[in-house]
Chains A and B, each alone.
Chain A
């Protein structure tokens, strides 16, 4: 089905790739090798097309037209007014925050709390450049990078080939990190393409929360093409957040690959707030017994936004539990895609998997495609799934209005109630409160909340 990259595009990308390699001549050979392999894979595959089942509803042509803008040579001035202030400051003063602008780590914008003993949070650029203090992370990076990725799609391959920066997070065995680790990826300049890479290793019985914010400057067409790799050793507990708010002309493609060992607990919380095209893939491999995997997704789409969430939970060993709940509101001419794949391998007896997809459509022009995708090869399992697509409840709307609450506010109250349920499992309460406020103000500024038929 792949046609490969068109010739003229191949030449342009090859030239850019050559100059990236030239700029990073000091990289360790293994990393250069990995990039070359990834670049070849990208060229060979070409961009995904809607003829491929995994991309059936998501046409990436607008993303491919963006091209590649080389990273700026000078340190950027950050115009804070270009960004959503609540998201720009998410977690400020609360935890460890690394800020990246157009793919490059910015020490000046980052804030470090005193790290608990043994915790490593290191920008990739510091590691590969051999910055003093970061050199001890070189071996872990070598051991981890790319290990959780299965077959790489074009975006993952492209991201690996052009990867500039990101973070390595290593939580040693037994350590519980109280404050979340924030990784804020800002897309600032028109046309900027960035390839953030996050690599997390959670040692045995460790615990941490990682928050990735992908935030685009207003009115700028940008692409952040992120890859996150997480490995959880036995009894580790990791909560991972991805919050996406690109400009209405901006793009985000995120791929999260997770491997869980026995008795580990992983939860993912995805929150889509805006973007022309946003595609999120989460693939969790439950490779040990008694794992718990919890995937929550929320999306608020309006205008011409297109948000596509593809998830895979791969049960390979017995007695694991997975819970998946995606819910969203679509308005205007926006489009939401959910594809929830659950695989239960022959050895994964006593698997307990549940999946729900709930959607509210606010306008006639908005579209939802939702699809459960279960592949069950074991016979002693509990698997349930359900999907709903509907409008706001007319009875509830009338009840609120009959008490003097205006149509717009009544809509906002009901949408807020529907969406807030999706934040109930955010364990770190200061973060949950910030996300609730972000959700509320996003609902307030939705373009046609009043466009509901009454």
Chain B
């Protein structure tokens, strides 16, 4: 049974249809890559899963662990194990990063009936996690994302993911704005978070991330629907031939062979 099951999803934003009949099943333990040109609806998919305001579901359903996801508030989804890695992590002046991270972890722990961490225990945990990610420990005491470089912001997202231990992580263009070294480090960090009980959906423009984070499935999103799916070789093919090729052949069952 799928951890996440999206069926015929239609979504509008500002009265304009963005997703038009998207269907996708993701099993626990899998990594899926959703690729596609600008404006194809990739970020909309991520935002709808996380519960951001401003999107209207006009048809279809999203089941997460066999329950209707769409009626839940964003914080309820997070506590149920959904994590959105932001394309543009938000800067929050005046709120220390550690304070934010601890509030988040304790909110989730409280919901799970686990013991909450005090400031001292939390600091020890977060410092260790930050070190593993190559995140400068001084960033923990600074206001959330304020003055962070692009790479530091994305590492901070992955740090949050590693603390919250989600069942389903949706990473929205986590590779954008990263140089090659940072990309490899971030991808390896995500790779390390692969787990048989956890699914990861990475949304990306480029195939490069997938060199380090090998996906089980690759989907091409175009015009608000998935036009083709395949294994990791589809990503390589896309890199060579461009999206025009994939969107022109919506029926291609196995792009690896079609090439």
**A residues in contact (CB < 8 Å) with B:** 394-396, 398-407, 409-410, 413-414, 416-418, 420-421, 454
Contacts and interface: CB of A to CB of B under 8 A. Distances in A.
B92 A405 contact: no
B107 to A, nearest CB: 4
Contacts of A407: 73, 75
A402 B47 CA distance: 10
A417 B74 contact: no
B90 A417 contact: no
A437 to B, nearest CB: 15
Given A404-B111, A413-B95, A417-B143, 8 more contacts: A402-B78, A403-B78, A404-B105, A405-B75, A405-B104, A409-B103, A410-B75, A418-B94
Given A414-B92, A417-B93, A421-B94, A404 B53 contact: no
Contacts of A398: 52-53, 74, 90
B50 interface: yes
Nearest to B84: A402
B223 interface: no
Given A401-B75, A406-B75, A407-B73, A417 B86 contact: no
A413 B74 contact: no
Contacts of A396: 90, 92
B230 interface: no
Contacts, number: 78
Interface of B: 50-53, 73-75, 77-79, 83-84, 86, 89-90, 92-95, 99-100, 103-105, 107-108, 111, 143-144, 160, 164
Nearest to A421: B94
Contacts of B75: 401-407, 410
Contacts of A413: 95, 99-100, 103
B79 A401 contact: no
B92 A401 contact: no
B73 A401 contact: yes
Overall SS of chain A's interface: helix
30 contacts: A396-B92, A399-B90, A399-B144, A400-B104, A401-B51, A401-B73, A401-B74, A402-B50, A402-B75, A402-B77, A402-B83, A402-B86, A403-B100, A403-B108, A403-B160, A404-B79, A404-B108, A404-B111, A404-B164, A405-B103, A405-B107, A406-B75, A413-B103, A414-B92, A414-B95, A417-B94, A418-B94, A420-B94, A421-B93, A421-B94
Nearest to B78: A404
A43 to B, nearest CB: 49
| Pairs of residues from A and B, 5 with the lowest C-beta to C-beta distance, nearest first | A417-B94, A403-B104, A404-B78, A401-B74, A399-B90
A403 B164 contact: yes
Given A399-B90, A401-B74, A404-B164, A409 B95 contact: no
A402 B107 CA distance: 11
A149 to B, nearest CB: 38
Contacts of B89: 399
A406 to B, nearest CB: 5
A403 to B, nearest CB: 4
Nearest to B109: A404
A406 B89 CA distance: 19
Given A404-B164, A407-B73, A420-B94, A454 B107 contact: no
Given A398-B74, A413-B100, A454-B53, A403 B107 contact: yes
A404 B164 CA distance: 9
B79 to A, nearest CB: 5
Contacts of B51: 401-402
B178 to A, nearest CB: 20
Contacts of B108: 403-404
B107 A409 contact: yes
A394 B52 CA distance: 10
B154 to A, nearest CB: 14
Contacts of B86: 399, 402
A405 to B, nearest CB: 5
Contacts of A416: 94-95
B127 to A, nearest CB: 19
A418 to B, nearest CB: 6
Nearest to B110: A404
Nearest to B52: A398
